[in-house]
């Protein structure tokens, strides 16, 4: 069980970049929050009075707090060019943003694959592709871990716990389920 090599100590420049990244991330986060909260308020407005009251109160307070946070952020990000920093983050080869985007994308792909091909196949493919193509592990290791995981999951969930895991649309359609 070897541990990956320590990455070298980040330079001062990189540290500043990292802090800026976090600030920018929060700006985006807060902006998204405001969008979501405002949209939710509009949605809740259409509800009947009794049902709308609690959400509107909660959303109102939340929006207020978020706006306060936004104002505090404004003070901290003066002098940081958002567009510049964002571009830098997306361009850097192994930047955090790219990695997070990649893994989230892979997870969504996993769900899509599960829906179509079923739990076991999708999981096997997911593990194999992540390990072999993305992390550049050896074929043997990737294959064994993928197969091993399918086996363990199958034994544990389907055999021991007797839960039927999702079979996938293809399987369901072939067996007469009216999926659509």
Partner 1 sequence: MDMLAAFGSGLSQALSLEVFPYLLVGSLFGLIIGVIPGLSGHFAMAMAIPFLYSMEPNAGIAFLLGAHATVAQGGGITAILFSTPGTGQNAATLLDGPPMRDKGLAGQAVGAALMSCFMGATFGAVSLALLLPVLQKVVLWFGPPEIVVLAFLALTFVAVLGKEDMNRSLIAGFLGLFLSMVGLDNVTNQERFTFDMLQLTDGLALVPVIMGLFAVSEITDLWAKGGSLTGNQVKPLSARETQKQIFEGIGLALKHWWLVIRCSFIGTVMGLIPGLGSAPAAFVAYGHAKQTSKTKETFGQGNIEGVIGPEAANDAVEGGALASTIAFGIPGSSSMAILLSGLFILGMETGPRMVSEHADIVFIMIFTIVIGNFIGTVVGSFLVNPLSRCTFLRSSILVPVLIAIVFTGSYAVNREVFDILIVIVFGLIGYLMKTLNYSRAAMLIGFVLGHAIEKNLYLSIKLSGNFFFLEPIPLVLSAITLIFLIYNLWPQKSVPTAPAQKKEA
Partner 2 sequence: MKANKNKTLTFASCIALLMAFFLGSNAQAETEDAAAFYKGKNIRWIVPYDPGGGYDEYARLIAPYFAKYTGARIRLDNKPGAGGMRGVNELFASPDDGLTVGIINGSAMVTNQLVGIQGAKYKIEEFKFLGRIVADRRVLAASIKDGFASFEDMIDAKDEFKIGATGLGGSTYVDAVVIGEVFKLRQNLIHGFDSSSVIRQSMLRGDVAAMWGSAGSAADSVDDGLNKVILQSGKQRSPDLADVPTVMEMMDRVNASAQDRDLVRAWQGLNDVGRPVASPPGTPDYKLAFLREAFKNAMNDPEFLKICADTGRDISFATGEEMNTIASDAAVMPDAVKEFFIGAIKGEL
Residues in touch with partner 1 (CB under 8 A): 1-4, 6-7, 19, 22-23, 25-26, 29, 33, 37, 40, 43-44, 47-48, 50-52, 54-55, 58-59, 61-62, 65-66, 68-69, 72-73, 75-76, 96, 99-100, 103-104, 107-108, 110-111, 114-115, 119, 123, 126-127, 130-131, 134-135, 137, 141, 145, 149, 153, 156-157, 161-166
- How many degrees, rounded to 5, is the angle at CA 99 between CA 93 and CA 105? 125
Q: Which of 44, 117, 127, 131 binds partner 2 (CB under 8 A)?
A: 117
- E strands, 36-124, where? none
Q: Does position 45 bind partner 2 by CB under 8 A? A: no
Instruction: Identify what 82 binds: partner 2, partner 1, none; CB under 5 to 8 Å per kind.
Output: none
Name the residue among 66, 109, 87, 113 with its Cα closest to residue 24. 87
Neighbours of 123 (CB within 10 A): 20
Dihedral Cα 100, 89, 92, 96, nearest 10 deg: -30
């Amino acid at each position: 069980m070897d541990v990956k090599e320590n990455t070298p100590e980040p330079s001062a420049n990189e540290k500043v970049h990292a802090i800026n990244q976090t600030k920018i991330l929060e700006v985006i986060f807060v902006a998204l929050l405001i969008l979501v909260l405002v949209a939710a308020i509009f949605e809740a407005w259409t509800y009947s009075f009794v049902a709308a009251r609690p959400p509107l109160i909660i959303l109102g307070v939340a929006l207020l707090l978020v706006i306060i946070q936004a104002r505090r952020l404004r003070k901290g990000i003066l002098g940081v060019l958002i567009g510049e920093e964002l571009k830098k983050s997306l361009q850097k080869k192994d930047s955090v943003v790219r990695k997070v985007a990649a893994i989230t994308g892979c997870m969504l792909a996993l769900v899509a694959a599960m829906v179509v091909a079923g739990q076991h196949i999708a999981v096997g493919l997911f593990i194999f592709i992540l390990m072999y193509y993305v992390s550049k592990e050896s074929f043997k290791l990737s294959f064994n871990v993928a197969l091993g995981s399918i086996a363990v999951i199958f034994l544990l969930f389907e055999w021991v716990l007797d839960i039927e895991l999702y079979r996938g649309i293809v399987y369901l359609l072939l067996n007469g389920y009216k999926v659509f």
